[in-house]
Amino acid sequence: MTAPAPIAMLAELTYRCPLSCPYCSNPVQMAAQDSELDTADWARVFREAAEMGVLQLHLSGGEPASRRDLTDLVSAARKAGLYTNLITSGIGLTEKRLTQLDDAGLDHVQLSLQGTNPEMADEIGGYRGGFARKLQVAEWIGKIGFPLTLNAVLHRRNLHQLPRALEMAQEMGARRIEVATVQFHGWALKNRAALMPTREQAKEANQIVTQARKRLKGRLVIDYVPADYHEDFPKRCMGGWGTTGLNVTPDGQVLPCHAAQSIPHLTFDRVQDKSLNEIWYNGAAFNAYRGTDWMQEPCRSCDRKTIDFGGCRCQAMAVIGDPAATDPVCIKSPHHESLQTQASAFSAQDDAPLIYREAPQKSSDPIN
């Protein structure tokens, strides 16, 4: 099959981050800080991306503000013709820096929310004073006039704060909020006992979102990622493997999704060795799960197979150990029941401690 050109690219500029959220999507084994691509490499990758049809660029991390050259990277992205979105916790941004990002042409800011009060937010982010700082940054963002999306990451410990998060988005002047229940990849997989929402919480969140969408229509757009362990059909991950988006890691590996490194048999090309175009159309990892030929039963003969593409490959890997299996979230999967039982068991472990994400090392640091 011929793949369509990608629309979006997630550039993970660095794994460094002042926060240490226990659900961080960064890999549990992180590349060392000094193997990060430099400014010129990224600028070239942005140009290659734009030339092959990428329209949307998401600058992410870790914390992208931890890169000193962030403003130059935004300039390079805009010069390449990309719509440029900054995904940030806010920590590391000053009013001066934001003004520079504005001058560089930054299109949009997506601010993450770990909780709606300092007690919750600073505990989850593992960073004291982070919440107060974030509010300050939100004020500067509003003053400059950047379009803002608030990204509330929810799990068992803070799902009760969803109504307040919706209010905060409006108070900050955000046009959009992403209500994202934690997806269990990366560090979150280690934290299923501490973070798994209860079935009741998941249901209640569905209701709150449905009502809020009606009430706030035309004022606040709500994009919602439900707690999928409690659902009956999987999500269409990445819009279909290798159809819509790609992800570049701090050290230049190109992934079909941010969790793809969890699939052991895949190998990833690097932007230092090949063009993005070559990697997207011919890279082994991109072709591994494109289309439907790789599917097994029950997906193979299912009429939803081009709707959800069998769900998430990384979830099939994480839960069943087979990346070509039906996403265990699916009611047709033989593992569906056991997943739901596991989810209930995880969600009942009230005393489970948070396991915080660890920082990437320098390659000269001794490995302990």
Partner 1 sequence: MLTTDIPILPRGVRLHHDKVRGTWVLLAPERAITLDAVGHAILNEVDGTRSFGEITGALAERYSAPVDEIRTDSSGFLDALRSRRFLDVSE
Q: For ligand SF4, which stretch binds (CB under 6 A), given 15-23, 64-72, 278-286, 313-321?
A: 15-23
H runs (alpha helix) in 24-152: 39-51, 70-80, 95-104, 118-125, 130-144
304 contributes a contact to ligand SF4 by CB under 6 A: yes
Nearer to ligand SF4, 26 or 116 (CB): 26
Q: Which residues contact 170 (CB under 8 A, 6 or more apart)?
A: 216, 219, 220
Q: How far is the CB of 357 from ligand SF4 (least distance, A)?
A: 5
Q: Which of 302, 324, 352, 359 binds ligand SF4 (CB under 6 A)?
A: 302
Name 11's bridge partners. 59, 248
Give the whole-angstrom CA distance, residue 343 versus residue 228: 10
Q: Using CB distances below 5 to 8 A depending on partner kind, what does residue 310 bind out of partner 1, ligand SF4, none?
A: ligand SF4
Q: How far is the CB of 124 from ligand SF4 (least distance, A)?
A: 8
Asked whether the beta carbons of 53 and 27 are under 8 A apart, the reply is no
Q: For ligand SF4, which stretch binds (CB under 6 A), given 159-167, 190-198, 268-276, 308-316?
A: 308-316
221 contributes a contact to partner 1 by CB under 8 A: yes
Asked whether the beta carbons of 98 and 144 are under 8 A apart, the reply is yes
- Kindly determine how many residues on this chain lie close enough to bind partner 1 according to the rule CB under 8 A: 25
Q: Which of 233, 244, 274, 355 binds ligand SF4 (CB under 6 A)?
A: 233
Q: Tell me the C-alpha to C-alpha distance, in Å, between residue 205 and each of 122, 176, 330, 368.
A: 23, 17, 20, 42
Give the whole-angstrom CA distance, residue 13 versus residue 249: 7
299 contributes a contact to ligand SF4 by CB under 6 A: yes
Could you say which DSSP state residue 257 is in? S
Q: How far is the CB of 309 from ligand SF4 (least distance, A)?
A: 7
357 contributes a contact to ligand SF4 by CB under 6 A: yes
Q: Which residues contact 147 (CB under 8 A, 6 or more apart)?
A: 107, 108, 109, 175
Q: For partner 1, which stretch binds (CB under 8 A), given 40-48, 181-189, 218-226, 313-321?
A: 218-226
Read off the tokens for 39.
Answer: 């400014």
191 contributes a contact to ligand SF4 by CB under 6 A: no
List binders of partner 1 among 172-201 (CB under 8 A).
175-176
| Cβ burial, residue 117 (10 Å; 0-12/13-18/19+) | exposed
Asked whether the beta carbons of 289 and 265 are under 8 A apart, the reply is no
List binders of ligand SF4 among 73-112 (CB under 6 A).
89, 112
Q: Using CB distances below 5 to 8 A depending on partner kind, what does residue 51 bind out of partner 1, ligand SF4, none?
A: partner 1
Q: Which of 341, 339, 305 is nearest to 320 (CA)?
A: 339
Asked whether the beta carbons of 23 and 188 are under 8 A apart, the reply is yes
312 contributes a contact to ligand SF4 by CB under 6 A: no
**Which residues would be at the binding site for ligand SF4 (CB under 6 A)?**
17, 19-21, 24, 26, 61-63, 89, 112, 233-234, 298-299, 302, 304-305, 308, 310-311, 326-327, 330, 332, 357
**Which residues would be at the binding site for partner 1 (CB under 8 A)?**
5, 7, 51-53, 55-56, 81, 83, 85, 107-108, 110, 145-147, 149, 175-176, 217-221, 223
